[in-house]
Homo-oligomer: A and B are copies of this chain.
Amino acid sequence: MNTDVWLFIGMGLGVMSFALAVLVYQWVKKQDAGTEKAQKIAKAIKDGAWAYLRRLYTALTGVAIVMGIILAVVFSLQGEGFGLARGLETAGAYIIGAFCSAIAGYLGMSVAVRANVRTATAAKTSLNKAFDVAYRSGSVLGLAMVGIAVFGMCLIYYLTGDPEVVLGFSFGASSLALLAKAGGGIYTKTADIAADLVGKVEAGIPEDDPRNPAVIADNVGDNVGDVAGMGADIFDSYVASAVAAMLIGFTGFLSFPKEQQLFYTVLPLILAIVGIVSSVIGIQFVRVGKNGKPGTALNLGTVFSCVIYAVLATILFLVMKWNIGALIATVSGLVVGVIVGFTTDYFTDDAFGPVRKTADIAKSGSALTILSGLSYGLISIAPSMVGIVVATLVSYFSAEAFGLPGIYGVGIAAVGMLSLTGVVVANDAYGPIVDNAKGIAEMSGMGEEVVERADTLDSAGNTAKAITKGFAISAAALTVLALFAAYKQQIEQYMPSGEKLSLDLMNPLVLSGILLGAMIPPIFSALLMLAVNKNAFKMIEEIRRQFREIPGILKGTVDPDYNTCVGLASEGALKALILPAALAIVLPLLVGFVLGPAALGGFLGGSIFVGVVFALFMSNAGGLWDNAKKYVEAGNCGGPGSDAHKAAVVGDTVGDPFKDTAGPSINTLITVMTLVSSLFAPVIAVFHLFG
């Protein structure tokens, strides 16, 4: 079967998936938008979100144009297989990648800021109804994202026949993701921490109280962080995993017959197609029965899609008589991903020891609460790390056993893990929608029953989020490992003498590269957390100023000035982005051009190993503290208002930038660094000072 056929199928299904997203979006729009008061609040959130997105996308357009020009120039000037055409293709693919990622994020945001008030209003009718609105809205982002990604990759590969150009597409998506994720993460936690510290702790007013000047910024933050940011983040992993496997397929099969080489280059896209189909089917089955639990519905959806994917892939491989090694690899990735997700749950779910012990020790004050959460967070990396190792070994050796290059198996395992992206994103986008819905229900005074229903939906969102996060980080880790292998192949392909790139740990350049790379994720996350700290400090001053200068606010007679807080959060987040983002792109190039390709290989390795540890640690510790606080708020260990509660709030506040700013941004950081290195590999292979 001609591989072009699969590319057409991919483009077709991509368009279909996107069209389905638009249809669901239309359905969401038609739902009841509720009372005037609720709509007014929703509008304030929407306006705040657009104000930030406008600034972000303006900045991104600038970055995309500059990077596009640099890429066009660099790849045009070079000889041997390069030239003007290659330069323009790479630059074009880069800009399209950035644009596609932006489109998906934009659509996700559009639906999220409409879905929140509609979910709250639907909660007046019933829990099922509200869940339906929220989940379908979330699925818009999931469907749109996989649709655009598969369409874009198939199209670019069809037009150029060169996976290196698709790499440009992936780099475009990733550099946007880095800015969107880190910026959104800073924004959301700035607002969240400031609103909580002054509102809850100092003024003693409840969460989501309309008297709090930062309340709108807080709700905006949920959207820009968890919808736009997280969407761009997963989009980037998804594309990167496919591209890494395509590149390995292209250069790793050079010694195979041409037809086979082409097939293995396209196979990752075929698997993505299977993933789209499974996600679309899986999403349809997420329903809450009359007494059903929303959390169970979300998890069942994930497991169900998984099974569909495994079955479809197996049938396809058997019918087409494709290599079984690749099938084992992709399924092993998927299975390990799901197991890891559920195992990580042990550390963040209040049904188990870690959360309960942390809540319990909160009675002895905030210091021990912090120590407890940090410790369990550090231990919680184990299931994922072991899972990544198992997936690596199984996929490598099963591919090798069936005559394929082992590293191709690892690439395919990453594609397998990420094949459920549609479902994972839908689950994740559901979270901020119900969180906002709860806020709107409270602020517009919809009554206790509605707020309670919204709260039930919200808790389910938090649990689902923790599971999908463990899943996403493991998948990203496997993806960067595959990308890392692709980097090595790219360098070797372009080395002037045709020599092999040795990445032996005993090579002092590799070792130095590893140690330098190991520094980057900790420093990067520290810069993001310091940005949150700095911005939150400013916003705290602003909230205090409003309470002090306008006494009517706390009495509820005057509306606070929401816009100043929204503006502070937007501006602070975008300013704080510059340094970390520059680090991610400039440092690998610097190491590569100065210390050479072997040191850069070590650098990528070091940042990946340490990056995965920190990403898992920070995300899980943050989730644990969040749930420990909720566990205390549910009346345990002294309950709300107790000293244990105060200590648990401190834990949660520390955990906020851990889990929503620094932790998830590390994924994107290591992806961007590996992508930029692979993309510039042809240049670095030829020009470097040492090594």
Q: What is A's interface to B at a CB cutoff of 8 Å?
A: 193, 197, 201, 361, 364-368, 370-372, 374-379, 381-382, 385-386, 388-389, 392-393, 396-397, 406-407, 410, 481, 484-485, 488, 502-506, 508-512, 514-516, 518-519, 522-523, 525-527, 529-530, 532-533, 536-537, 540, 601-602, 605-606, 609-610, 612-613, 617, 649-650, 653-654, 657
Contacts known (A504-B502, A609-B515); A526 close to B374, Cβ less than 8 A: yes
Verify A485–B514 contact, CB threshold 8 A. Answer: no
Contacts of A654 in B (CB 8 A): 367, 370-371, 374
A-B contact pairs, 26 of them (CB 8 A): A197-B367, A197-B368, A367-B649, A368-B536, A368-B537, A371-B532, A375-B533, A378-B523, A379-B526, A381-B523, A382-B523, A385-B518, A389-B515, A389-B516, A393-B512, A406-B508, A488-B506, A503-B505, A504-B504, A505-B605, A514-B609, A515-B609, A518-B609, A518-B613, A522-B617, A609-B610
CA distance A368 to B364 in the complex (A): 19
Contact B379 A523 (CB under 8 A): yes
Name the 3 nearest CB pairs between A and B, nearest first. A367-B653, A378-B526, A375-B526
Complex: A393 Cα to B513 Cα, angstroms: 11
How distant is the Cα of A385 from the Cα of B605 in the complex, in angstroms? 16
Task: Give Cα distance in the complex from A666 to B515, angstroms.
Answer: 17
Q: Please state if A510 and B505 are interface contacts (CB–CB under 8 Å).
A: yes
A387 to B, closest residue via Cβ? B515
Having A364-B536, A366-B366, one finds 10 other A-B pairs with CB under 8 Å, namely: A197-B367, A370-B370, A370-B654, A372-B530, A375-B525, A389-B512, A503-B505, A518-B609, A606-B609, A609-B609
Check A375/B504 contact, CB under 8 A, given A381-B522, A511-B392: no
Minimum CB distance partner of A389 in chain B:
B512
Complex-state Cα separation, A377 to B361, whole angstroms: 25
Residue ID in chain B nearest A485 by CB atoms? B506
Chain A residues touching B, majority SS: helix
Contact B525 A364 (CB under 8 A): no
Which residues of the partner chain B approach A374 to less than 8 Å between Cβ atoms?
526, 529, 654
A372 to B515, Cβ gap below 8 A?
no
Cβ contacts under 8 Å, A610 to chain B: 518, 609-610, 613
Q: How far is the CA of A378 from the CA of B530 in the complex (A)?
A: 11
Contact check, A515 vs B376: say whether CB atoms are below 8 A apart.
no
Please indicate the chain B residues that have their CB under 8 angstroms from the CB of A377 in the complex. 526
Q: How far is the CA of A525 from the CA of B376 in the complex (A)?
A: 10
Q: For A523, what are the chain B residues with a Cβ–Cβ distance below 8 Å?
A: 378-379, 381-382
Cα distance A42–B392 in the bound complex, in angstroms: 58
- Give CA–CA (A519, B383) in the complex, Å: 10
Residue of B nearest to A410 (CB): B508
Chain B residue at minimal CB-CB distance from A194: B364
User: Are A613 and B519 in contact, CB atoms less than 8 angstroms apart?
Assistant: yes
Give the CA-CA distance A364 to B537 in the complex, in Å: 7
Q: Which residues in B have their C-beta under 8 angstroms from that of A519?
A: 381-382, 385-386, 613
Contact A385 B506 (CB under 8 A): no
Output the nearest chain B residue to A363 by Cβ-Cβ distance. B537
Q: Is the beta-carbon distance between A533 and B371 smaller than 8 angstroms?
A: yes
The reply to whether B503 and A506 form a contact with Cβ atoms under 8 Å apart is yes
A504→B511 CA distance, assembly (Å) = 11
Residue of A361, A389, A506, A525 contacting most chain B CB atoms (<10 Å): A506
A197 CB contact (under 8 Å) in B364, B392, B503, B518: B364
**Contacts A370-B654, A375-B533: A392 and B504 contacting too (C-beta < 8 A)?**
no
A390 shortest CB reach to chain B, Å: 9
**Contact (Cβ within 8 A) B505 A601:** yes
Contacts of A605 in B (CB 8 A): 505, 514
A525: chain B residues at CB < 8 Å are 375, 378
Contacts of A530 in B (CB 8 A): 372, 375-376
Q: Is the CB of A505 within 8 A of B505?
A: yes
Q: List the B side residues contacting A364 at CB < 8 Å.
A: 197, 536-537, 540
A378 CA to B484 CA, complexed, in Å: 25
Q: How far is the CA of A617 from the CA of B372 in the complex (A)?
A: 18
- Complex formed: what's the CA distance from A406 to B605 in Å? 22
Closest partner residue, chain B, to A510 (CB atom): B505
* A533:B368 contact, CB within 8 angstroms: yes
Collect the chain B residues with CB atoms within 8 Å of residue A536's CB: 364, 368
Cα(A536)–Cα(B368), bound, Å = 9
The residue among A381, A504, A505 with the most chain B CB atoms within 10 A of its own CB is A505
- Closest-by-CB residue of B relative to A509 is B393
The smallest beta-carbon distance between A469 and chain B, in angstroms, is 18
Q: Are B393 and A612 in contact (CB under 8 A)?
A: no
List B contacts of A540 (CB < 8 A).
364
The residue in A376, A485, A529 that gathers the most chain B C-beta atoms within 10 A of its C-beta is: A529
Report how far A239 CA is from B602 CA in the complex, Å: 29
Q: B657 and A371: CB pair below 8 A?
A: yes
Contact with A650, one of B367, B386, B515 (Cβ below 8 angstroms): B367
Q: CB < 8 Å: which of B396, B602, B609 contacts A508?
A: B396
Bound form: Cα–Cα A535–B425 in Å: 42
Pairwise interchain contact B393-A508, C-beta atoms closer than 8 A: yes
Write out the residue numbers on chain B whose beta carbons fall within 8 Å of the beta carbon of A392: 508, 511-512, 515
A247 CA / B509 CA spacing, docked (Å): 22
Query: Which of the residues B376, B393, B509, B522 comes within 8 Å of A526, measured between beta carbons?
Result: B376
Instruction: Kindly provide the distance from the CB of A113 to the nearest chain B CB, expressed in whole angstroms.
Output: 29
User: Which residues of the partner chain B approach A381 to less than 8 Å between Cβ atoms?
Assistant: 519, 522-523
**Bound: A509/B397 CA distance, A:** 10
Look across to chain B and name the residue whose beta carbon is closest to the beta carbon of A649. Answer: B367
Q: How far is the CB of A26 from chain B (nearest CB, A)?
A: 43
Contacting pair B606 A529 (CB below 8 A): no
In the complex, residue of chain B having the shortest beta-carbon distance to the beta carbon of A397: B508
Measured CA separation A313–B613 after assembly (Å): 42
User: From A374, which residue of chain B is reached at the shortest CB distance?
Assistant: B529
Which residue of chain B has its CB nearest to the CB of A394?
Answer: B508
**Which of B393, B510, B522 lies in contact with A613, CB distance below 8 A?**
B522
